[in-house]
Structure 1
Amino acid sequence: MSKLTEGMEQWKKEIEQWSHRVIEFLQQIPPPQLYAACAVLLLTTTLLLLFQLFKRTKSNTIVLTGLSGSGKTVLFYQLRDGSSHQGTVTSMEPNEDTFVLHSESTKKGKVKPIHVADVPGHSRLRPKLEEFLPQAAGIVFVVDALDFLSNCRAVSEYLYDILTKSTVVKKKIPVLICCNKTDKVTAHTKEFIRKQLEKEIDKLRTSRSAISEADVTNDFTLGVPGEAFAFSQCYNKVTVAEASGLTGEISPVEQFIREHVKP
Protein backbone atom coordinates (compact mmCIF):
# COMPACT_ATOMS: atom_id res chain seq x y z
CA MET A 1 0.00 0.00 0.00
CA SER A 2 1.42 3.40 -0.99
CA LYS A 3 2.00 6.21 1.49
CA LEU A 4 -0.77 8.23 -0.20
CA THR A 5 -3.29 5.41 0.25
CA GLU A 6 -2.24 4.94 3.88
CA GLY A 7 -2.66 8.66 4.47
CA MET A 8 -6.14 8.60 2.96
CA GLU A 9 -7.16 5.64 5.11
CA GLN A 10 -5.89 7.34 8.26
CA TRP A 11 -7.71 10.56 7.35
CA LYS A 12 -10.93 8.57 6.74
CA LYS A 13 -10.68 6.88 10.17
CA GLU A 14 -10.20 10.24 11.91
CA ILE A 15 -13.24 11.68 10.13
CA GLU A 16 -15.34 8.69 11.23
CA GLN A 17 -14.15 9.05 14.84
CA TRP A 18 -15.02 12.74 14.91
CA SER A 19 -18.42 12.00 13.35
CA HIS A 20 -19.22 9.45 16.07
CA ARG A 21 -18.19 11.92 18.79
CA VAL A 22 -20.38 14.66 17.33
CA ILE A 23 -23.35 12.29 17.08
CA GLU A 24 -22.87 11.10 20.68
CA PHE A 25 -22.63 14.72 21.86
CA LEU A 26 -25.81 15.72 20.03
CA GLN A 27 -27.69 12.71 21.43
CA GLN A 28 -26.92 13.94 24.95
CA ILE A 29 -28.57 17.33 24.29
CA PRO A 30 -32.31 17.48 25.15
CA PRO A 31 -34.41 17.88 21.94
CA PRO A 32 -35.81 21.35 22.84
CA GLN A 33 -32.31 22.74 23.36
CA LEU A 34 -31.10 21.10 20.13
CA TYR A 35 -33.97 22.60 18.14
CA ALA A 36 -33.31 26.03 19.63
CA ALA A 37 -29.60 25.80 18.80
CA CYS A 38 -30.38 24.80 15.21
CA ALA A 39 -32.84 27.70 14.88
CA VAL A 40 -30.26 30.17 16.18
CA LEU A 41 -27.62 28.78 13.81
CA LEU A 42 -30.02 28.96 10.85
CA LEU A 43 -31.06 32.52 11.71
CA THR A 44 -27.45 33.67 12.13
CA THR A 45 -26.41 32.09 8.83
CA THR A 46 -29.35 33.73 7.02
CA LEU A 47 -28.56 37.15 8.45
CA LEU A 48 -24.88 36.84 7.49
CA LEU A 49 -25.81 35.84 3.94
CA LEU A 50 -28.23 38.77 3.64
CA PHE A 51 -25.58 41.16 4.99
CA GLN A 52 -23.01 39.91 2.47
CA LEU A 53 -25.56 40.14 -0.33
CA PHE A 54 -26.42 43.71 0.64
CA LYS A 55 -22.75 44.68 0.72
CA ARG A 56 -22.10 43.07 -2.61
CA THR A 57 -25.06 44.68 -4.42
CA LYS A 58 -24.70 48.18 -2.97
CA SER A 59 -23.99 50.26 -6.04
CA ASN A 60 -21.25 52.79 -6.63
CA THR A 61 -22.30 53.60 -10.22
CA ILE A 62 -23.20 57.14 -11.27
CA VAL A 63 -24.81 57.50 -14.68
CA LEU A 64 -24.26 60.65 -16.76
CA THR A 65 -26.93 61.18 -19.40
CA GLY A 66 -28.69 63.92 -21.35
CA LEU A 67 -28.94 65.15 -24.93
CA SER A 68 -25.94 65.07 -27.27
CA GLY A 69 -23.77 68.15 -26.89
CA SER A 70 -24.84 68.90 -23.33
CA GLY A 71 -21.29 68.36 -22.03
CA LYS A 72 -21.51 64.92 -20.41
CA THR A 73 -18.10 63.74 -21.61
CA VAL A 74 -16.35 66.95 -20.51
CA LEU A 75 -17.98 66.49 -17.09
CA PHE A 76 -16.78 62.88 -17.01
CA TYR A 77 -13.16 63.95 -17.56
CA GLN A 78 -13.40 66.73 -14.99
CA LEU A 79 -14.57 64.22 -12.39
CA ARG A 80 -11.81 61.78 -13.27
CA ASP A 81 -8.83 63.95 -14.25
CA GLY A 82 -9.67 67.50 -13.26
CA SER A 83 -9.35 68.45 -16.93
CA SER A 84 -11.97 69.25 -19.55
CA HIS A 85 -10.09 67.35 -22.31
CA GLN A 86 -11.14 70.02 -24.81
CA GLY A 87 -11.83 68.67 -28.24
CA THR A 88 -14.04 65.76 -27.15
CA VAL A 89 -16.51 64.59 -29.78
CA THR A 90 -20.03 63.22 -29.47
CA SER A 91 -19.83 59.77 -27.86
CA MET A 92 -21.14 56.82 -29.87
CA GLU A 93 -20.43 54.28 -27.14
CA PRO A 94 -20.75 54.52 -23.35
CA ASN A 95 -17.65 56.03 -21.79
CA GLU A 96 -17.07 54.42 -18.40
CA ASP A 97 -14.37 54.03 -15.80
CA THR A 98 -13.87 53.39 -12.08
CA PHE A 99 -11.83 55.99 -10.24
CA VAL A 100 -11.40 58.18 -7.17
CA LEU A 101 -12.80 61.66 -7.76
CA HIS A 102 -9.99 63.97 -8.84
CA SER A 103 -10.91 66.43 -6.07
CA GLU A 104 -10.37 63.64 -3.52
CA SER A 105 -7.16 62.20 -5.00
CA THR A 106 -4.96 63.96 -2.41
CA LYS A 107 -7.11 62.98 0.58
CA LYS A 108 -5.52 60.78 3.20
CA GLY A 109 -7.08 57.53 4.22
CA LYS A 110 -9.48 55.32 2.29
CA VAL A 111 -11.65 56.99 -0.35
CA LYS A 112 -14.20 54.83 -2.13
CA PRO A 113 -13.80 54.78 -5.94
CA ILE A 114 -16.89 55.42 -8.05
CA HIS A 115 -17.92 53.88 -11.33
CA VAL A 116 -19.06 56.57 -13.77
CA ALA A 117 -20.86 55.74 -17.01
CA ASP A 118 -21.22 58.48 -19.63
CA VAL A 119 -24.15 57.28 -21.80
CA PRO A 120 -24.53 58.67 -25.34
CA GLY A 121 -27.40 61.12 -25.74
CA HIS A 122 -28.29 60.36 -29.35
CA SER A 123 -31.89 59.11 -29.57
CA ARG A 124 -30.86 55.86 -31.28
CA LEU A 125 -28.26 55.11 -28.60
CA ARG A 126 -30.39 55.86 -25.53
CA PRO A 127 -31.49 52.24 -25.05
CA LYS A 128 -27.95 51.65 -23.74
CA LEU A 129 -29.06 53.55 -20.64
CA GLU A 130 -31.09 50.47 -19.62
CA GLU A 131 -27.84 48.51 -19.17
CA PHE A 132 -26.67 50.80 -16.36
CA LEU A 133 -29.87 51.66 -14.47
CA PRO A 134 -30.03 48.42 -12.39
CA GLN A 135 -26.63 49.30 -10.86
CA ALA A 136 -27.16 53.07 -10.63
CA ALA A 137 -26.74 54.82 -7.29
CA GLY A 138 -27.64 58.11 -8.94
CA ILE A 139 -28.31 59.76 -12.31
CA VAL A 140 -26.79 63.07 -13.39
CA PHE A 141 -29.00 64.42 -16.17
CA VAL A 142 -26.92 67.04 -17.99
CA VAL A 143 -28.68 70.01 -19.63
CA ASP A 144 -27.06 72.58 -21.92
CA ALA A 145 -27.98 75.85 -20.19
CA LEU A 146 -26.91 77.86 -23.25
CA ASP A 147 -29.13 76.22 -25.87
CA PHE A 148 -31.83 75.18 -23.45
CA LEU A 149 -34.85 76.92 -24.99
CA SER A 150 -34.32 75.48 -28.45
CA ASN A 151 -33.98 71.99 -26.95
CA CYS A 152 -36.51 72.33 -24.13
CA ARG A 153 -39.05 69.93 -25.62
CA ALA A 154 -36.47 67.25 -26.45
CA VAL A 155 -34.84 67.58 -23.01
CA SER A 156 -38.24 67.29 -21.29
CA GLU A 157 -39.21 64.20 -23.27
CA TYR A 158 -35.97 62.40 -22.43
CA LEU A 159 -36.19 63.38 -18.77
CA TYR A 160 -39.84 62.30 -18.65
CA ASP A 161 -38.88 58.88 -20.04
CA ILE A 162 -36.21 58.48 -17.35
CA LEU A 163 -38.43 59.58 -14.46
CA THR A 164 -41.16 57.12 -15.46
CA LYS A 165 -38.93 54.09 -15.96
CA SER A 166 -39.86 51.26 -13.64
CA THR A 167 -36.23 50.68 -12.56
CA VAL A 168 -35.78 54.34 -11.60
CA VAL A 169 -39.09 54.50 -9.73
CA LYS A 170 -38.87 51.17 -7.91
CA LYS A 171 -35.26 51.74 -6.80
CA LYS A 172 -35.99 55.44 -6.15
CA ILE A 173 -32.79 56.36 -7.97
CA PRO A 174 -31.98 60.02 -7.19
CA VAL A 175 -31.63 62.37 -10.16
CA LEU A 176 -29.55 65.53 -10.36
CA ILE A 177 -30.51 67.87 -13.21
CA CYS A 178 -27.13 69.46 -13.93
CA CYS A 179 -27.48 72.79 -15.75
CA ASN A 180 -24.12 72.82 -17.53
CA LYS A 181 -22.17 75.70 -19.16
CA THR A 182 -23.47 78.25 -16.64
CA ASP A 183 -20.11 80.06 -16.80
CA LYS A 184 -21.42 81.75 -19.97
CA VAL A 185 -23.22 85.09 -19.55
CA THR A 186 -26.14 84.05 -21.78
CA ALA A 187 -26.74 80.76 -19.96
CA HIS A 188 -30.14 80.27 -18.35
CA THR A 189 -30.37 79.93 -14.57
CA LYS A 190 -31.27 76.69 -12.83
CA GLU A 191 -34.51 78.27 -11.55
CA PHE A 192 -35.60 79.14 -15.09
CA ILE A 193 -34.67 75.71 -16.42
CA ARG A 194 -36.47 73.93 -13.59
CA LYS A 195 -39.71 75.88 -14.15
CA GLN A 196 -39.64 75.34 -17.91
CA LEU A 197 -39.00 71.61 -17.52
CA GLU A 198 -41.87 71.28 -15.05
CA LYS A 199 -44.22 73.06 -17.49
CA GLU A 200 -43.18 70.87 -20.41
CA ILE A 201 -43.42 67.65 -18.39
CA ASP A 202 -46.87 68.74 -17.22
CA LYS A 203 -47.92 68.94 -20.90
CA LEU A 204 -46.29 65.60 -21.65
CA ARG A 205 -48.02 63.71 -18.87
CA THR A 206 -51.37 65.05 -20.10
CA SER A 207 -50.76 64.00 -23.70
CA ARG A 208 -49.30 60.64 -22.79
CA SER A 209 -52.09 59.74 -20.39
CA ALA A 210 -54.14 59.00 -23.51
CA ILE A 211 -51.83 56.09 -24.35
CA SER A 212 -53.33 52.72 -23.46
CA GLU A 213 -52.01 50.94 -20.37
CA ALA A 214 -50.84 48.11 -22.62
CA ASP A 215 -48.29 50.46 -24.17
CA VAL A 216 -46.86 51.64 -20.85
CA THR A 217 -46.76 48.42 -18.89
CA ASN A 218 -43.33 49.13 -17.38
CA ASP A 219 -43.80 52.84 -16.82
CA PHE A 220 -45.25 54.92 -14.01
CA THR A 221 -47.24 58.13 -14.21
CA LEU A 222 -45.85 61.38 -12.87
CA GLY A 223 -47.33 64.00 -10.58
CA VAL A 224 -50.59 64.40 -8.69
CA PRO A 225 -53.85 64.31 -10.69
CA GLY A 226 -55.44 67.75 -10.87
CA GLU A 227 -52.25 69.58 -9.84
CA ALA A 228 -49.54 71.25 -11.92
CA PHE A 229 -46.47 69.02 -12.11
CA ALA A 230 -43.47 69.71 -9.88
CA PHE A 231 -40.32 67.66 -9.38
CA SER A 232 -41.16 67.43 -5.68
CA GLN A 233 -44.01 65.07 -6.66
CA CYS A 234 -41.66 62.46 -8.15
CA TYR A 235 -41.25 59.06 -6.53
CA ASN A 236 -37.50 59.62 -6.35
CA LYS A 237 -35.55 62.69 -5.23
CA VAL A 238 -34.92 65.20 -8.04
CA THR A 239 -32.63 68.20 -7.51
CA VAL A 240 -31.38 70.94 -9.83
CA ALA A 241 -27.90 72.49 -9.76
CA GLU A 242 -25.59 74.66 -11.87
CA ALA A 243 -22.14 73.63 -13.08
CA SER A 244 -19.52 74.24 -15.73
CA GLY A 245 -17.58 71.27 -17.01
CA LEU A 246 -15.34 73.51 -19.07
CA THR A 247 -14.09 75.59 -16.12
CA GLY A 248 -14.17 72.76 -13.59
CA GLU A 249 -16.91 74.31 -11.44
CA ILE A 250 -18.52 70.95 -10.67
CA SER A 251 -18.75 70.86 -6.86
CA PRO A 252 -22.58 70.35 -6.88
CA VAL A 253 -22.08 67.21 -9.00
CA GLU A 254 -19.36 65.92 -6.67
CA GLN A 255 -21.56 66.61 -3.64
CA PHE A 256 -24.42 64.69 -5.27
CA ILE A 257 -22.10 61.76 -5.96
CA ARG A 258 -20.76 61.62 -2.41
CA GLU A 259 -24.27 61.90 -1.00
CA HIS A 260 -25.18 58.65 -2.71
CA VAL A 261 -21.80 56.88 -2.89
CA LYS A 262 -20.29 57.21 0.55
CA PRO A 263 -16.47 57.56 0.82
Structure 2
Amino acid sequence: MVSSAWKQEAELKLQNIAKDFGLPISVELYTSIAVLLITLFIFVIVARFAFKKRKSDTILLTGLSGSGKTALFYQLRDGTIHKGSVTSMEANVDRFILHSDSIKQGRTKPVRMVDFPGHMKLRAKLDEFLIQAGGIIFLVDAADFMPNVRSVAEYLYDILSKALIVKYKIPVLIVANKMDKVTAHSIDFIRKQLEKEIDKLCVTRTGISDADMTSEVLIRKEGEPFKFTHCLNKVTVTEASVTTAQLADVYQFIREQIGS
Protein backbone atom coordinates (compact mmCIF):
# COMPACT_ATOMS: atom_id res chain seq x y z
CA MET A 1 0.00 0.00 0.00
CA VAL A 2 2.81 2.40 0.87
CA SER A 3 4.74 1.71 -2.35
CA SER A 4 1.52 2.14 -4.36
CA ALA A 5 0.90 5.53 -2.74
CA TRP A 6 4.48 6.60 -3.50
CA LYS A 7 4.03 5.50 -7.09
CA GLN A 8 0.81 7.51 -7.53
CA GLU A 9 2.34 10.57 -5.88
CA ALA A 10 5.45 10.35 -8.07
CA GLU A 11 3.32 10.02 -11.22
CA LEU A 12 1.26 13.07 -10.27
CA LYS A 13 4.36 15.18 -9.59
CA LEU A 14 5.95 14.14 -12.88
CA GLN A 15 2.76 15.02 -14.78
CA ASN A 16 2.61 18.44 -13.11
CA ILE A 17 6.24 19.08 -14.05
CA ALA A 18 5.47 18.08 -17.63
CA LYS A 19 2.55 20.54 -17.75
CA ASP A 20 4.71 23.35 -16.37
CA PHE A 21 7.29 22.82 -19.12
CA GLY A 22 4.77 22.12 -21.86
CA LEU A 23 5.91 18.54 -22.32
CA PRO A 24 3.62 15.82 -23.70
CA ILE A 25 1.93 13.72 -21.02
CA SER A 26 2.29 9.96 -21.30
CA VAL A 27 0.99 7.92 -18.41
CA GLU A 28 3.07 4.93 -19.44
CA LEU A 29 6.26 6.98 -19.66
CA TYR A 30 5.83 8.66 -16.30
CA THR A 31 4.77 5.41 -14.69
CA SER A 32 8.01 3.84 -15.88
CA ILE A 33 10.04 6.78 -14.59
CA ALA A 34 8.26 6.64 -11.24
CA VAL A 35 8.95 2.92 -10.90
CA LEU A 36 12.60 3.49 -11.82
CA LEU A 37 13.02 6.22 -9.21
CA ILE A 38 11.39 4.13 -6.49
CA THR A 39 13.55 1.13 -7.39
CA LEU A 40 16.69 3.28 -7.32
CA PHE A 41 15.72 4.72 -3.93
CA ILE A 42 15.16 1.25 -2.45
CA PHE A 43 18.48 0.02 -3.90
CA VAL A 44 20.39 2.92 -2.33
CA ILE A 45 18.82 2.27 1.08
CA VAL A 46 19.52 -1.47 0.94
CA ALA A 47 23.12 -0.92 -0.23
CA ARG A 48 23.73 1.60 2.52
CA PHE A 49 22.68 -0.86 5.22
CA ALA A 50 24.42 -3.81 3.57
CA PHE A 51 27.82 -2.11 3.45
CA LYS A 52 27.63 0.13 6.49
CA LYS A 53 30.61 0.24 8.85
CA ARG A 54 30.03 -1.79 11.98
CA LYS A 55 30.58 -0.21 15.37
CA SER A 56 32.81 -2.16 17.73
CA ASP A 57 35.31 -1.30 20.46
CA THR A 58 37.43 -4.37 19.69
CA ILE A 59 40.84 -3.89 18.09
CA LEU A 60 42.60 -6.98 16.75
CA LEU A 61 46.41 -7.11 16.81
CA THR A 62 47.81 -9.65 14.38
CA GLY A 63 50.79 -10.43 12.15
CA LEU A 64 53.53 -13.04 11.96
CA SER A 65 55.23 -14.33 15.09
CA GLY A 66 57.99 -11.98 16.20
CA SER A 67 56.46 -8.85 14.66
CA GLY A 68 55.87 -7.26 18.06
CA LYS A 69 52.16 -7.85 18.73
CA THR A 70 52.43 -8.81 22.39
CA ALA A 71 54.94 -6.04 23.09
CA LEU A 72 52.51 -3.57 21.52
CA PHE A 73 49.65 -4.96 23.61
CA TYR A 74 51.55 -4.29 26.84
CA GLN A 75 52.85 -0.93 25.65
CA LEU A 76 49.29 0.21 24.94
CA ARG A 77 47.99 -1.12 28.25
CA ASP A 78 50.84 -0.57 30.72
CA GLY A 79 53.29 1.76 29.01
CA THR A 80 55.98 -0.93 29.04
CA ILE A 81 56.84 -3.81 26.70
CA HIS A 82 57.32 -6.43 29.48
CA LYS A 83 60.67 -7.78 28.29
CA GLY A 84 60.97 -11.52 28.54
CA SER A 85 57.36 -12.29 27.60
CA VAL A 86 57.07 -15.56 25.69
CA THR A 87 55.07 -16.31 22.56
CA SER A 88 51.59 -17.49 23.47
CA MET A 89 49.48 -20.10 21.71
CA GLU A 90 46.29 -18.45 22.94
CA ALA A 91 44.77 -15.07 22.19
CA ASN A 92 45.53 -12.45 24.84
CA VAL A 93 42.34 -10.45 25.46
CA ASP A 94 41.76 -7.52 27.81
CA ARG A 95 39.65 -4.37 28.08
CA PHE A 96 41.46 -1.26 29.26
CA ILE A 97 41.94 2.47 28.86
CA LEU A 98 44.98 3.25 26.74
CA HIS A 99 47.98 4.00 28.94
CA SER A 100 48.51 7.32 27.18
CA ASP A 101 44.92 8.31 28.06
CA SER A 102 44.99 7.12 31.67
CA ILE A 103 46.44 10.42 32.92
CA LYS A 104 44.03 12.57 30.91
CA GLN A 105 41.30 14.54 32.61
CA GLY A 106 37.76 13.87 31.51
CA ARG A 107 35.96 10.90 30.06
CA THR A 108 37.92 8.29 28.13
CA LYS A 109 36.64 5.11 26.54
CA PRO A 110 38.20 1.70 27.13
CA VAL A 111 39.22 -0.52 24.24
CA ARG A 112 38.89 -4.29 24.01
CA MET A 113 42.27 -5.42 22.71
CA VAL A 114 42.89 -8.86 21.21
CA ASP A 115 46.50 -9.97 20.74
CA PHE A 116 46.15 -12.90 18.33
CA PRO A 117 49.12 -15.31 18.05
CA GLY A 118 50.94 -15.33 14.74
CA HIS A 119 51.52 -19.07 14.54
CA MET A 120 50.16 -20.52 11.30
CA LYS A 121 48.50 -23.46 13.07
CA LEU A 122 46.17 -21.03 14.83
CA ARG A 123 44.95 -19.20 11.71
CA ALA A 124 41.78 -21.30 11.61
CA LYS A 125 40.67 -19.59 14.83
CA LEU A 126 41.19 -16.09 13.45
CA ASP A 127 37.67 -15.71 12.04
CA GLU A 128 36.02 -15.77 15.46
CA PHE A 129 37.99 -12.64 16.36
CA LEU A 130 37.77 -10.96 12.95
CA ILE A 131 33.99 -10.92 13.16
CA GLN A 132 34.23 -9.02 16.46
CA ALA A 133 36.77 -6.45 15.26
CA GLY A 134 36.07 -2.77 14.74
CA GLY A 135 39.62 -2.32 13.47
CA ILE A 136 42.68 -4.44 12.70
CA ILE A 137 46.32 -3.58 13.40
CA PHE A 138 48.60 -5.78 11.30
CA LEU A 139 52.23 -5.70 12.46
CA VAL A 140 55.19 -6.23 10.16
CA ASP A 141 58.81 -6.69 11.25
CA ALA A 142 60.50 -3.94 9.23
CA ALA A 143 63.98 -5.10 10.28
CA ASP A 144 63.54 -8.68 9.07
CA PHE A 145 61.09 -8.00 6.26
CA MET A 146 62.46 -9.48 3.03
CA PRO A 147 62.99 -13.08 4.24
CA ASN A 148 59.34 -13.12 5.33
CA VAL A 149 57.69 -10.93 2.69
CA ARG A 150 55.84 -13.81 1.04
CA SER A 151 54.44 -15.12 4.33
CA VAL A 152 53.45 -11.62 5.43
CA ALA A 153 51.68 -10.97 2.11
CA GLU A 154 49.80 -14.29 2.24
CA TYR A 155 48.55 -13.63 5.76
CA LEU A 156 47.56 -10.07 4.89
CA TYR A 157 45.82 -11.20 1.70
CA ASP A 158 43.82 -13.78 3.66
CA ILE A 159 42.53 -10.98 5.90
CA LEU A 160 41.86 -8.33 3.25
CA SER A 161 40.01 -10.73 0.95
CA LYS A 162 37.62 -12.06 3.58
CA ALA A 163 34.00 -11.29 2.76
CA LEU A 164 33.18 -10.03 6.26
CA ILE A 165 36.10 -7.56 6.17
CA VAL A 166 34.79 -6.12 2.91
CA LYS A 167 31.12 -6.21 3.94
CA TYR A 168 31.66 -4.26 7.15
CA LYS A 169 34.52 -2.16 5.75
CA ILE A 170 36.72 -2.98 8.73
CA PRO A 171 39.72 -0.61 8.60
CA VAL A 172 43.21 -2.07 8.62
CA LEU A 173 46.37 -0.33 9.84
CA ILE A 174 49.56 -1.99 8.59
CA VAL A 175 52.32 -1.08 11.04
CA ALA A 176 55.96 -1.41 10.00
CA ASN A 177 57.41 -2.04 13.45
CA LYS A 178 61.01 -1.91 14.72
CA MET A 179 61.82 1.24 12.76
CA ASP A 180 64.41 2.04 15.43
CA LYS A 181 66.59 -0.76 14.00
CA VAL A 182 69.30 0.21 11.48
CA THR A 183 68.27 -2.69 9.24
CA ALA A 184 64.64 -1.55 9.03
CA HIS A 185 63.19 -0.94 5.57
CA SER A 186 61.19 2.21 4.81
CA ILE A 187 57.39 2.07 4.85
CA ASP A 188 57.32 3.02 1.16
CA PHE A 189 59.50 0.01 0.30
CA ILE A 190 57.42 -2.28 2.50
CA ARG A 191 54.15 -1.03 1.01
CA LYS A 192 55.34 -1.56 -2.57
CA GLN A 193 56.71 -5.04 -1.86
CA LEU A 194 53.49 -6.11 -0.15
CA GLU A 195 51.38 -4.77 -3.02
CA LYS A 196 53.57 -6.64 -5.49
CA GLU A 197 53.28 -9.93 -3.59
CA ILE A 198 49.54 -9.55 -3.03
CA ASP A 199 49.11 -8.84 -6.74
CA LYS A 200 50.71 -12.23 -7.48
CA LEU A 201 48.32 -13.87 -5.03
CA CYS A 202 45.34 -12.17 -6.69
CA VAL A 203 46.36 -13.69 -10.02
CA THR A 204 46.89 -17.11 -8.46
CA ARG A 205 43.57 -17.11 -6.61
CA THR A 206 41.58 -16.29 -9.76
CA GLY A 207 42.39 -19.80 -10.95
CA ILE A 208 40.75 -21.37 -7.91
CA SER A 209 37.19 -22.62 -8.36
CA ASP A 210 34.32 -20.54 -6.99
CA ALA A 211 33.51 -23.36 -4.57
CA ASP A 212 36.86 -22.82 -2.87
CA MET A 213 36.42 -19.03 -2.61
CA THR A 214 33.01 -18.70 -0.98
CA SER A 215 34.43 -16.58 1.85
CA GLU A 216 36.85 -14.55 -0.31
CA VAL A 217 36.36 -11.37 -2.29
CA LEU A 218 38.52 -10.30 -5.22
CA ILE A 219 40.37 -7.19 -4.05
CA ARG A 220 42.23 -6.20 -7.20
CA LYS A 221 40.77 -3.98 -9.93
CA GLU A 222 40.57 -5.89 -13.18
CA GLY A 223 43.45 -5.12 -15.52
CA GLU A 224 45.45 -3.21 -12.90
CA PRO A 225 48.24 -4.25 -10.52
CA PHE A 226 47.02 -4.44 -6.93
CA LYS A 227 47.14 -1.36 -4.72
CA PHE A 228 45.89 -1.04 -1.16
CA THR A 229 43.66 1.77 -2.42
CA HIS A 230 41.68 -0.87 -4.36
CA CYS A 231 40.28 -2.26 -1.11
CA LEU A 232 36.76 -1.16 -0.19
CA ASN A 233 37.81 -0.90 3.44
CA LYS A 234 40.40 1.68 4.45
CA VAL A 235 43.94 0.28 4.48
CA THR A 236 46.75 2.47 5.80
CA VAL A 237 50.48 1.80 6.06
CA THR A 238 52.49 3.51 8.78
CA GLU A 239 55.72 3.11 10.74
CA ALA A 240 56.30 2.64 14.45
CA SER A 241 58.69 1.46 17.11
CA VAL A 242 57.06 -0.36 19.99
CA THR A 243 60.25 -0.50 22.07
CA THR A 244 60.73 3.29 21.92
CA ALA A 245 56.98 3.99 22.18
CA GLN A 246 56.81 5.78 18.82
CA LEU A 247 53.14 4.94 18.33
CA ALA A 248 51.33 8.16 17.42
CA ASP A 249 49.52 6.71 14.39
CA VAL A 250 48.59 3.56 16.30
CA TYR A 251 46.99 5.57 19.09
CA GLN A 252 45.14 7.74 16.58
CA PHE A 253 43.82 4.69 14.72
CA ILE A 254 42.51 3.11 17.92
CA ARG A 255 40.85 6.32 19.11
CA GLU A 256 39.15 6.75 15.74
CA GLN A 257 37.64 3.26 15.92
CA ILE A 258 36.37 3.45 19.51
CA GLY A 259 35.28 7.08 19.25
CA SER A 260 37.51 8.32 22.04
- Common fold: TM-score over 0.5: yes
> How far 1:137 sits from its partner (Å)?
0.8
Gaps spanning 5+ residues in structure 2: where? Answer: 1-53
Q: Which residue is equivalent to 2:252?
A: 255
Q: Which residue is equivalent to 2:117?
A: 120
How far does the alpha carbon of each residue in 1:9-54 deviate from its partner, in whole angstroms, 9 at most, with x for none?
xxxxxxxxxxxxxxxxxxxxxxxxxxxxxxxxxxxxxxxxxxxxxx
> How far 1:125 sits from its partner (Å)?
0.7
Whether contact under 8 Å (2:195, 2:228) holds in the other structure is yes
Q: Which residue is equivalent to 1:231?
A: 228
SS state of the match for residue 204, structure 2? Answer: helix
> How far 1:108 sits from its partner (Å)?
1.0
Q: State which of 86, 104, 129 in structure 1 corresponds to 2:83.
A: 86
Q: Which residue is equivalent to 1:139?
A: 136
Identity of aligned residues (%): 61
Q: Which residue is equivalent to 2:189?
A: 192
Distance across 1 between alignment mates of 2:74 and 2:248: 14
**Residues 1:104 and 2:117 aligned together:** no
How far does the alpha carbon of each residue in 1:198-231 deviate from its partner, in whole angstroms, 9 at most, with x for none?
0000011001110000000111011101101100
SS state of the match for residue 134, structure 2? Answer: strand
Structural RMSD (CA): 0.9
Larger radius of gyration: 1
Distance across 2 between alignment mates of 1:244 and 1:77: 13
Q: Which residue is equivalent to 2:65?
A: 68
SS state of the match for residue 82, structure 2? Answer: coil
Q: Within 5 Å, which residues of 2 pair with 1:11-90?
A: 58-90=55-87
Distance across 2 between alignment mates of 1:120 and 1:69: 10
Distance across 1 between alignment mates of 2:169 and 2:228: 13
Count of residue correspondences:
207
Q: State which of 151, 154, 158 in structure 2 corresponds to 1:157.
A: 154
> How far 1:117 sits from its partner (Å)?
0.0
Whether contact under 8 Å (1:119, 1:126) holds in the other structure is no
Distance across 2 between alignment mates of 1:106 and 1:198: 39
Q: Give the aligned residue type for 2:100.
A: S
Whether contact under 8 Å (1:198, 1:230) holds in the other structure is yes
**TM-score computed with the length of structure 2 as normaliser:** 0.78
> How far 1:191 sits from its partner (Å)?
0.6
Distance across 2 between alignment mates of 1:97 and 1:128: 18
Q: Which residue is equivalent to 1:214?
A: 211
Gaps spanning 5+ residues in structure 1: where? Answer: 1-56
Distance across 1 between alignment mates of 2:259 and 2:71: 24
